[in-house]
Amino acid sequence: MNELLTEDRGAVRILTMNRPEKRNALNTALTRALLEGLRAADTAEPVACVLLTGAGQGFCAGADLSEFKDLGSEHRQRIEERAELTMQLHLAFPKMAKPVVTAINGAAMGGGAGLAIAGDMAVMAEGAKLGYPETRHGIVAAIVMANLVRQVGRKQAFELVALGEPIDSRTALALGMVNRVVDEKLLMEQALQIAEKLSRVSRSALSATKQLFHEVADLPLAEALRRGREANKRMRAFRKT
């Protein structure tokens, strides 16, 4: 079975995590396939937007812990390689020139919650849940924490990673973690509509918008304004593509 399914609908590339029997838990194979799939979509000329979702009833259950249950200190290199791979996967989203929409069709936990909010826009099914239960397993929501604290207020973010309690779709919407909450039956339709709208925006303008958006989010105001000034000057040379 392919861990990741790829389908093009016009200018939208749909990536579907395909381990439904494991609620799309992220083993090394799926993590690598996702990273390669995102990078391939970003360089594919016909593709203007990416839509990420999960097969079956869940979006993504997070890391496949069974892959590491027997690993000890003697497997340090393997542990380090997996941590690096996970970091590169989450770093791929802001680095991409093309926008990513996530369609959260079911439970998104731990690393899965990190993927759910890593996209530029997110649509969540009404019955879906989102959470960071790592502390309940005696571990830390480590890599996914960096993006969470950039999107949610500190008090709310700390509660999510410290208590590990899942939240429903309406709470996720109120916290600004997702853009839309829709009926499960309409999820892919609504997510595709957003992706198709994004695909019709000038590619050069949208790419520059996304790049600047991620740059200014982490900069002091003066430097952010300087970056904006430079982008404003480059904007004059934009041509629709």
Q: Give me the amino acid identity at 32.
A: R
pLDDT tens digits, one per residue of 190-204: 999 999 999 999 999
Confidence of residue 241 (pLDDT cuts 50, 70, 90): very low
Q: Which fold has domain 4-198?
A: 2-enoyl-CoA Hydratase; Chain A, domain 1 (3.90.226)
Q: State mean pLDDT over 57-70.
A: 86
With H, G, I as helix, E, B as strand and everything else as coil, classify residue 165: coil
Q: What is the pTM of this model?
A: 0.92
Q: Is 184 a catalytic residue?
A: no
The Cα 50–Cα 178 span in angstroms is 16
Q: How does pLDDT run across 144-178, given as a tens digit for each residue?
A: 999 999 999 999 999 999 999 999 999 999 999 99
Spatial distance between the Cα atoms of 161 and 157, rounded to a whole number of angstroms: 6
| H or E, element range at 124 | strand 121-125
The secondary element (H helix, E strand) that includes residue 231 is: helix 221-235
Residue 16 pairs with which residues in a beta bridge?
Answer: 5, 53
Could you say which of 80, 81, 134, 165 is catalytic?
Answer: 134
Residue with tokens 């957003």: 194
Task: Work out the mean pLDDT of the chain and round it to a whole number.
Answer: 92
Other Cβ atoms less than 10 A from the Cβ of 65: the count is 14
What are the structure tokens assigned to 234, written together? 């480059």
